[in-house]
Amino acid sequence: MVGSVFLIVVDILMIMVPRITGIVIDTLRAAPDDLSTVRVLLLGIVGIAFGLFFSRFFWRVFIMGAARRFEYFSKEVLFDKLLSLPASYYDRTRVGDLMARFTNDVNAMRMAFGPAIVMMVDGFFLTAITIIAMGSFVNWNLTLLSVAPLPALAFVATFFGRMIHRRFRAVQEAFSDVTDTAEESIAGVRVVKSYGIEQLRSKTMEGISNNYVAKNIALVKIWGMFFPMIQGLAMLGVVIAIFFGGRMVILGSITLGEFVTFVGYLGMLIWPIAAFGWVLNIIQRGRASYRRLKEIIEEKSDVKTVNPVKIRKLRGHIVFDNLTFTYPTARESSLMDVSLEIKAGSKVALVGTTGSGKSTIGKLLGRVYPVLEGKIMIDGIDITRLDPEIIRDNIAYVPQETFLFSDTVRNNIAFAVDGVDKEKVEKYAKIAAVHNDIKGFSKGYDTIVGERGVTLSGGQKQRIAIARALMKEAPVIFLDDCLSAVDTETEARILKSLQNSGIERTIIVISHRLKAVVDSDVIYVMHDGKVLEQGTHSELLENYGLYRKMYERQMLEEKLEGE
């Protein structure tokens, strides 16, 4: 609001300049003895120049500031939304697209809200008062004749604006190709060297660089045409003004000063009108971006809680009842008629071929995806009646791929709980058999890990992830093949200490190493989305089925490795 006031001040000040110039000229033509009025008028122009400087400065600060605040706000809203979107959303959306929306679309909206609206209001207001000033200070007929070519200006500017934008995008894309290729080549320089393909990389880079140059030249050509085109059209108006206006001066219907004022005003009209076409483009783009962002904001979670049950602590008795599940983006079902029971406090293993649906069981249990056919019950309650938050408080899920943040080891372990309890962190690091590793780091628990820190081995990362899950002290812990990078003995030891850590806990382990889970209360053997066999280790061996085959093969492999 304050910004708009400054804007109007700028416009009014601008209107005064040609008028004063005209008066000065007429005064001089009268060849007065005393030039003091002229001096005052010239001082007035200098004063106006100062006024313009300050007003422009302030409206920029106010209006651009507001636009930036808007950008910050919308990025924050969008970021929160992205964190709360369901997993199925990320299955069908590319991360690159999301990043583009995050930056480009918010940027386009900021431009439309800030500068574009300002230019639009400013353009309208300035054009209107300039035309009124031309008509009332000088002559209405002359005004109408001279501004006739100007709408063509707006049209040309719109057209060029679109072309320039398109070519500008092409330049940006070409540029990101260049950086991507450079980055890849440098990051993968060892691979490049070991294969001796420096020449090839260099060729690739050359092609991409040439494309970048070509795209830039295309842009420059359009820019080069834009300004002369606008000026040419504007000249047409000036020619009309001089032709008719000059005659009027000679005939004495307007003074020379009035004529100069008139041409000054005409010059002032060019850029607001050209900008008008330009602004139209920006606003259009802003609206398209707004629609895309709105889609994200209005995205609904597909995991719904109906008739919710208020309960804080679950015991961890889990039943899957004829569960069939198909991923929203998949055509075939990943789970078919799966029924299983996991008693509270027991240790259950899920084993089977890759892609057989083991991880899917974990995701459905954690309410990452919705249960549509069949049922999952925890402690006799249908999980569709349990808030996802309750489930996540009670089931500590350790995913197959671990992710560590660029932070200290301690904060990475404690990140899911409020406040960092040092003793607890160490206690669970010990159970996860990673305490000694951490002690060996240069700064112990204060060592920074992740992207910008020390590089950990796959096994160390996995064990830190387990310690992180243990921090939640949940009654159910679900380990999704998260010990694959740890040797068999350590894996077995970790699983043992989980069982003997004092609290009664339901343990569900997915593992492809059967030896680590032989002592489970029940082992479910999965294949192609179905439970093929179930029972204890010895029962399954007697069954002479898939489990026995897998077990014998693993034993054989181990023997061969040992020799």
Residues that bind ligand ADP (CB under 6 A): 91, 327, 329-330, 334, 354-360
473 vs 242, 417, 505, CA distance in Å? 87, 10, 9
For residues 376 and 318, the answer to whether their CB atoms sit within 8 Å is: yes
Reading the block at residue 257, the tokens are 């000063």
Report the DSSP pairing between strands 522-527 and 347-352: parallel
Alpha carbon distance 58, 6 (integer Å):
7
Side chain identity at residue 508, one-letter code: I
Nearest distance in Å: CB 92, ligand ADP: 9
Task: Count the residues of the shown chain that bind Mg ion, applying the rule CB under 5 A.
Answer: 1
- In this complex, which beta carbon is closest to ligand ADP, that of residue 158 or of residue 333? 333
Q: At what angle do helices 256-298 and 117-133 cross, to 10 degrees?
A: 160
- In this complex, which beta carbon is closest to ligand ADP, that of residue 403 or of residue 559? 403
Q: Could you say which of ligand ADP, Mg ion, none residue 308 binds, taking C-beta under 5 to 8 angstroms by partner kind?
A: none
- In this complex, which beta carbon is closest to Mg ion, that of residue 27 or of residue 353? 353
Nearest distance in Å: CB 82, ligand ADP: 17
Nearest distance in Å: CB 292, ligand ADP: 23
Closest residue to Mg ion in the complex (CB): 359
Q: Could you say which of Mg ion, ligand ADP, none residue 435 binds, taking C-beta under 5 to 8 angstroms by partner kind?
A: none
Nearest distance in Å: CB 523, Mg ion: 16
Report the DSSP pairing between strands 373-378 and 381-382: antiparallel
435 vs 202, 416, 427, 465, 486, CA distance in Å? 46, 19, 8, 13, 14
Nearest distance in Å: CB 152, ligand ADP: 54
Other beta carbons within 10 Å of 215: 20
Nearest distance in Å: CB 482, Mg ion: 10
Q: Could you say which of ligand ADP, Mg ion, none residue 329 binds, taking C-beta under 5 to 8 angstroms by partner kind?
A: ligand ADP
Half-sphere exposure of residue 392: CA atoms within 13 angstroms, side-chain side:
9
Nearest distance in Å: CB 359, ligand ADP: 3
Ranges assigned E (strand) in 328-399: 335-342, 347-352, 373-378, 381-382, 395-398
Q: Is 462 in the site for Mg ion (CB under 5 A)?
A: no
Phi, psi of 317 (to 5 degrees): -95, 115
Q: Could you say which of Mg ion, ligand ADP, none residue 360 binds, taking C-beta under 5 to 8 angstroms by partner kind?
A: ligand ADP
Question: 3-state DSSP: the chain helix, strand, coil percent, rounded to 5?
Answer: 65, 10, 25
- In this complex, which beta carbon is closest to Mg ion, that of residue 359 or of residue 462? 359
Nearest distance in Å: CB 85, Mg ion: 22
- In this complex, which beta carbon is closest to ligand ADP, that of residue 101 or of residue 358? 358
Closest Cα partner for 340 from 316, 359, 321, 313?
A: 321
Alpha carbon distance 70, 74 (integer Å):
6
Listed ranges 14-22, 88-96, 337-345, 353-361: which one lies at the site for Mg ion (CB under 5 A): 353-361
Q: How far does CA 218 lie from the centroid of its chain?
A: 30
- In this complex, which beta carbon is closest to ligand ADP, that of residue 119 or of residue 368? 368
Nearest distance in Å: CB 493, ligand ADP: 24
Nearest distance in Å: CB 91, ligand ADP: 4
- In this complex, which beta carbon is closest to ligand ADP, that of residue 139 or of residue 360? 360
Nearest distance in Å: CB 340, ligand ADP: 14
- In this complex, which beta carbon is closest to ligand ADP, that of residue 359 or of residue 520? 359
Compose the 272-301 pattern: x for residues touching Mg ion by CB under 5 A, - for all others.
------------------------------
Indicate the SS3 state at residue 145: helix
Phi, psi of 474 (to 5 degrees): -85, 150
233: exposed, middle or buried (Cβ count in 10 Å: 0-12, 13-18, 19+): buried
Q: Could you say which of Mg ion, ligand ADP, none residue 394 binds, taking C-beta under 5 to 8 angstroms by partner kind?
A: none
Phi, psi of 324 (to 5 degrees): -125, 135
Enter the DSSP assignment of 33. S
Nearest distance in Å: CB 357, Mg ion: 8
| Site for Mg ion, residues 228 to 257, rule: CB under 5 A | none
The residue length of the chain stands at: 563
Q: Is 360 in the site for Mg ion (CB under 5 A)?
A: no
Q: Could you say which of ligand ADP, Mg ion, none residue 334 binds, taking C-beta under 5 to 8 angstroms by partner kind?
A: ligand ADP
Compose the 300-339 pattern: x for residues touching Mg ion by CB under 5 A, - for all others.
----------------------------------------
- In this complex, which beta carbon is closest to Mg ion, that of residue 21 or of residue 334? 334
Q: CA geometry: angle at 253 spanning 248 and 255, to 5°?
A: 85
Reading the block at residue 329, the tokens are 């983006």
Q: Could you say which of ligand ADP, Mg ion, none residue 357 binds, taking C-beta under 5 to 8 angstroms by partner kind?
A: ligand ADP
Q: Could you say which of ligand ADP, Mg ion, none residue 130 binds, taking C-beta under 5 to 8 angstroms by partner kind?
A: none
Closest residue to ligand ADP in the complex (CB): 359
- In this complex, which beta carbon is closest to Mg ion, that of residue 353 or of residue 536? 353
Reading the block at residue 405, the tokens are 């943040």
- In this complex, which beta carbon is closest to Mg ion, that of residue 127 or of residue 511? 511
Nearest distance in Å: CB 90, ligand ADP: 8
- In this complex, which beta carbon is closest to ligand ADP, that of residue 330 or of residue 556? 330
Q: Could you say which of Mg ion, ligand ADP, none residue 167 binds, taking C-beta under 5 to 8 angstroms by partner kind?
A: none
Helices (H) and strands (E) in the chain, counts: 20, 10
For residues 257 and 22, the answer to whether their CB atoms sit within 8 Å is: yes
Alpha carbon distance 531, 350 (integer Å):
9
* Residue that has been written with the tokens 């084993």 in this structure: 351
Q: Could you say which of Mg ion, ligand ADP, none residue 355 binds, taking C-beta under 5 to 8 angstroms by partner kind?
A: ligand ADP
Radius of gyration of the chain (CA): 37
- In this complex, which beta carbon is closest to ligand ADP, that of residue 91 or of residue 521? 91
Q: Is 359 in the site for Mg ion (CB under 5 A)?
A: yes
Alpha carbon distance 511, 347 (integer Å):
13
Give the binding site for Mg ion (CB under 5 A): 359
